[in-house]
Homo-oligomer: A and B are copies of this chain.
């Protein structure tokens, strides 16, 4: 008998029928004798419906009232799911974020959880109830309703699991778990049994949008075993665990992430003086543009090139800012390339396995793919290439590192 926190997202509870299916799923766990705390999101579409009404009134709705408005979305779901459980003979008790209580800071629309009081939930579990909690929301110390921002329900689930000392936190979603790469690009992409928190963080931030980054950070910090699995299909999903729990024979590379929504800006021929990187990147950041990869290279002629990537939608603005600064930077040229793609290999095993980078470069060379940028971290190697080669690069790397279904353990030695 375990205490399990389960989280069901908006698409999993998008209709009354789907809510009934979720109740069926929960019923099976109850039949096994597990204690269940369920965290739910708003029914899919509901948040957009509410936001649209607010924006009919004002372009930038008052944040406090926006939270009052949006928090109704999950409140509807907890009531309906509790009813569906009652109907199946499983007594249930719903809680809004404020009722739990989930105490947050006062930053409306993107509050952070400060404290959770598990007393009321434990009392309901002891009475044999399934506890159904509204995700995404809480209250500040003055009793104002706050929300955690989009995707905050994952964070609620993990935070609850930590506060209740749950045995596992299960995030139900519309995918079967975490794959070695996007199955739409590589047909034989493999579903991972386990992945470490660090690997998951790198994969999530690189675009494998399975879990909220904040939730993963939280789970790692509080050592909450986190499992991603499908609402709609049976299967164990992927367990996100601490590094020490990874098996020796696990491969060095956990997965391959890629992104095609970036653009590359190169500022070349700048006199090689201190403060150069700041002079280039500073003005772009200050304009609220997020900079991803940054690479700097000294040239032989005492000038310097700085290349960086930004979201493709921000790239014209970033270029414009630098064009205005060209003379003060004394830069020879400023160029923008929108046709790039980024590919990243991620794996904690990289630390102990030599030759991952060279194997990656060799694989791409064999396919005649030219590498434009390289950055590396402890558990990640990212390269930027011409966009048209993106799928080819991902597929050939997936093959080269034996990530496909049924070829798991042999490559790493």
Contacts and interface: CB of A to CB of B under 8 A. Distances in A.
B57 A68 contact: no
A79 B99 contact: no
In order of increasing CB-CB distance, the 7 nearest A-B pairs are: A69-B79, A72-B72, A68-B79, A65-B79, A16-B56, A65-B82, A58-B87
A105 interface: no
A99 B62 contact: no
Interface residues of A, number: 36
A83 B62 contact: yes
A76 B62 CA distance: 14
A43 B315 CA distance: 43
Contact of A62 (B20, B64, B86, B145): B86
Nearest to A75: B72
Given A68-B94, A76-B69, A83 B54 contact: yes
A143 B75 CA distance: 15
A80 interface: yes
Contacts of A65: 78-80, 82-83, 86, 92, 94
Interface string A32-53: 0000000000000000001001
Contacts of A83: 54, 57-58, 61-62, 65-66
Interface in A267-324: none
Contact of A68 (B19, B56, B78, B86): B78
Nearest to A73: B72
Contacts of A16: 53, 56-57
Given A62-B82, A69-B79, 9 more contacts: A54-B80, A57-B80, A57-B83, A58-B87, A64-B93, A68-B94, A68-B96, A71-B75, A98-B98
Contacts of A79: 54, 65-66, 68-69
